[in-house]
Amino acid sequence: MQSDRRIVNLALIGFMGTAKTSVGRLVAESLRFEYVDTDEMIQSGTGRIVSDIFKTDGEAAFRALEEKTVAELASRVKTVIATGGGLPTNLNNFTSLKKHALIVCLWASPEKIWERVKNQSHRPLLHDENPQAKIRELLAAREPFYKQADVLLNTELRSVREVAQQIVHQFRLATSSR
Ligand code: S3P
């Protein structure tokens, strides 16, 4: 564990469709923490939706906004931070979050992810000729980043409530000895 860590927040990372939002809201409620979502922060800060930023300014511009948002979160306490699926692939984001948050990764197989996202249309990276192949490709590329989380939880066989309970338990364990 990094010696300069002070765990006062909880960050949820993981691929699109791993239920970060619904799990994050429940965890925040249980811990009596505030809930924030980096995509929502970007949207309210810019007055634009994520897919428009991707389309008009490109992915690199969106990733710069993500990094700025993560830097702003460094002064937070008692906050559950749900992050966009690609955010932890930027080392600056991972390093920054790790200083103040327990990092929990929600995991699911490409098949399960496809099942969960196939009827949704707001994710620009899945506007692809073959979204299932895109999910497999992105997930494989991101796996090494996701697996650096403090806690890795498979969400496939657990309900949102069970996943949230596990996370609350892990957070209490991680913060009780200090
Ligand atoms: C992205 C995931 C999205 C959003 C953007 C890019 C990604 O967030 O940040 O569309 O790169 O995986 P969710 O993981 O909340 O869908």
Nearest CA owner, ligand 1 atom 8: 84
Q: Which atom of ligand 1 is nearest to the CA of 18?
A: 14
Q: Is the pLDDT of residue 159 over 90?
A: yes
pLDDT computed for residue 177 by the predictor? 67
93, 43, 31, 91: which is closest to 68 by C-alpha?
Answer: 93
The verdict on the CB of residue 108 being under 6 Å from ligand 1 is no
The verdict on the CB of residue 24 being under 6 Å from ligand 1 is no
The verdict on the CB of residue 100 being under 6 Å from ligand 1 is no
pLDDT computed for residue 3 by the predictor? 63
Cα distances (angstroms) measured from residue 11 to each of 78, 94, 98, 118? 11, 10, 9, 25
Nearest CA owner, ligand 1 atom 1: 85
DSSP strand pairing (79-82 vs 9-14): parallel
At 130-143, the pLDDT tens digits run 999 999 999 999 99
Residues 6+ apart with CB under 8 A from 29: none
Bridge-partner residues for 78, per DSSP?
Answer: none
Q: Is the pLDDT of residue 1 over 70?
A: no
Distance, CA of 30 to CA of 41 (rounded, Å): 22
Could you tell me the pLDDT band of residue 178, with boundaries at 50, 70 and 90?
low
Residue burial 76-110, b: 16+ Cβ < 10 Å; e: rest: beebbbbbbbbbbbbeebbebbbebbbbbbbbbeb
Could you tell me the pLDDT band of residue 151, with boundaries at 50, 70 and 90?
very high
At 63-97, the pLDDT tens digits run 999 999 999 999 999 999 999 999 999 999 999 99
What does residue 84 show for φ and ψ, rounded to 5 degrees?
-65, 150
Distance 113 CA to ligand 1 centre (A): 13
Distance, CA of 144 to CA of 153 (rounded, Å): 15
The residue type at 13: I
Token pair listed for 150: 């403090």
Distance 30 CA to ligand 1 centre (A): 25
Cα distances (angstroms) measured from residue 150 to each of 63, 164, 167? 23, 15, 11
Contact by Cβ (8 Å): 22, 113? no
At 10-69, the pLDDT tens digits run 999 999 999 999 999 999 999 999 999 999 999 999 999 999 999 999 999 999 999 999
The verdict on the CB of residue 14 being under 6 Å from ligand 1 is no
Q: Is the pLDDT of residue 126 over 90?
A: no
Distance 86 CA to ligand 1 centre (A): 6
pLDDT computed for residue 9 by the predictor? 98
The overall average pLDDT reported for the chain is 95
Distance 46 CA to ligand 1 centre (A): 16
pLDDT computed for residue 122 by the predictor? 86
The mean per-residue pLDDT over the stretch 111-124 comes to 91
pLDDT computed for residue 121 by the predictor? 84
